[in-house]
Structure 1
Amino acid sequence: MRIAAKDVAALMAMPRASIVGDTRGMVKFVVDAETDEILGAALLSIDSQELINSVALAMRTGLTASRLRDGIWTHPSSTEAFNEVLANVVR
């Protein structure tokens, strides 16, 4: 199992939090080290109510952490955090 977590204030790839002036929170993923399956996530940040929908969809459809990490996300958006946080956990 691999775990990646980052404070929102430290995420360079999540400019929306800075734009709206709310950099509180963190983004955390738990990923199976062998299969790259997303086992869970904790999303405590601006727009987390929307981010969790993408993570839940990825988990339900078997989208791997690598595929979520390599997604091309709208800029500026909070989903851009997936690229940076998952880069720390995905092989």
Structure 2
Amino acid sequence: MRVAVKPIAAIAAMPRARIVGDTRGLMKFVIDAETDEILGAALLSVDSQELINTVALAMRGGTTAGGLRDAIWTHPSSTEAFNEVLATIVG
């Protein structure tokens, strides 16, 4: 198992949190080390109610952590953080 986690305040690629002035929270992903499958996520931030839908769709559709990490996201949006957070995978 591998984990990617980063506090919202430390995510440079999450302009939406700064625009609305709320950088509380964190993003955490748990990933299967062999398949790169996203096993779960904790998303605590501005717009997390929308972010979780994107992650759930990726999980149901078989999109890997690498696929979510390498996607191009709308700017400025909270989904941009997926690129940066998933680039920190350790384990």
The TM-score with structure 1 as length reference comes to 0.97
RMSD (CA atoms): 0.9
Q: Relative CO higher for 1 or 2, CA cutoff 8 Å, sep ≥ 6?
A: 2
Matched position secondary structure for 2:73? coil
Structure 2 equivalent of residue 81 of structure 1: 81
**C-alpha distance after superposition, 1:16-47 (max 9, x if no partner):** 10010000000000000110000000000000
Matched position secondary structure for 1:59? helix
The within-5 A match list for 1:1-91 is: 1-89=1-89
Q: How many residues align?
A: 90
Deviation at 1:74, TM superposition (A): 0.4
* Structure 2 residue identity aligned to 1:17: A
* Structure 2 residue identity aligned to 1:54: T
Identity %, equivalent residues: 79
Matched position secondary structure for 1:36? coil
Deviation at 1:80, TM superposition (A): 0.4
The TM-score with structure 2 as length reference comes to 0.97
* Structure 2 residue identity aligned to 1:69: R
Q: Return 5+ residue gaps in structure 2 as ranges.
A: none
